[in-house]
Amino acid sequence: MLSLIISAGAAPKAGRQVSEWRDECGNVFARAFSADDHYRIDWPGLGTFAFRPGSHDVLVWPDPNASYEETSDTFDRSLQPVILQALGKQALHAAAAVGPTGAIAICGNKGSGKSTLGFAMQQAGYRQLADDALVLQLEQDRVSVCPLPFAPRLRPASRLHFGYADQSPVPCVDVRPADLALSAIFLLRQDEQTERSQLALLPQAQAFSALLAHAHCFDAQDRGHARRLVEDYLAMISLVPVFALQYRPGLQRLPELIEIIQDAAGWSNAKSSTFRLRDLVP
């Protein structure tokens, strides 16, 4: 969807800092900036990236110590969704799959199992669309999915569960552009005390705040940018049902969770907020 072009000479000026990204230890590893006619992302050790509104070209000034494979992989996996959000689409921190009822998104905090569950949906005849970031386009009466190439990233226990040795690569997924509508969103909530998995359709107000916690946002300081983010997510929760799926963690529960998601996705045209927490396990 975006083209990465290696550039020479001097990178454009940084401008106003609008975002920064931190690792699990709280250390900043990248910063984003906004100038009058362009945006810029500085990622020390990787490179400087610059792009402009209305263009699908992203220029990069690579760090001398960064390989092209590392730069390209990070661009595809981490930067494309953020850049596309800055350019007018929305990006959700989510795994995704597509099946008979349309595309589904699976959100959750780090370690909640969204990547594992997104990968496992293939066992039920679904096709995986995203592992960690899902780009969306708001249209008049639906939310469209904009697939990006990705490589499934599974934790060691999940790799072994699906039959991959510790160091063997999980094949990359080249998702072809397609006309896909988002039919349901599932928010994963792990609970060690939950004996039986439970599903609830969230009221729209609760769904709005819950989804915003998983939204990519390039520039929350810009009023126009922030207003578009809010308006798009308000439209999104009016068009797509959002479910909370609470479950006890454990790879042995994957078949049960897949069945619950399949049932709910088939029911996804019903958006009544009177749907209450209920047990879906026989």
Query: What domains sit in the chain, N to C, each tagged with a CATH number?
Result: 3-87 (no CATH), 91-279 (3.40.50.300)
Distance from C-alpha of 185 to C-alpha of 176, rounded to nearest angstrom: 21
Using an 8 Å Cβ cutoff, are 158 and 217 in contact? no
Residue 147: per-residue pLDDT: 86
> Over pLDDT 70: what percentage of the chain?
90
Residue 280: per-residue pLDDT: 36
Residue 276: per-residue pLDDT: 36
Q: How do strand 3-6 and strand 16-22 relate by DSSP bridges?
A: unpaired
Residue 244: per-residue pLDDT: 96
Distance from C-alpha of 180 to C-alpha of 41, rounded to nearest angstrom: 30
Using an 8 Å Cβ cutoff, are 264 and 171 in contact? no
17, 113, 210, 231 from 54: Cα distances, Å: 21, 36, 30, 21
Predicted TM-score (pTM) of the model is 0.86
Residue 46: per-residue pLDDT: 96
Residues of the chain with pLDDT under 50: 269-282
Residue 176: per-residue pLDDT: 60
Q: How do strand 90-92 and strand 134-138 relate by DSSP bridges?
A: antiparallel
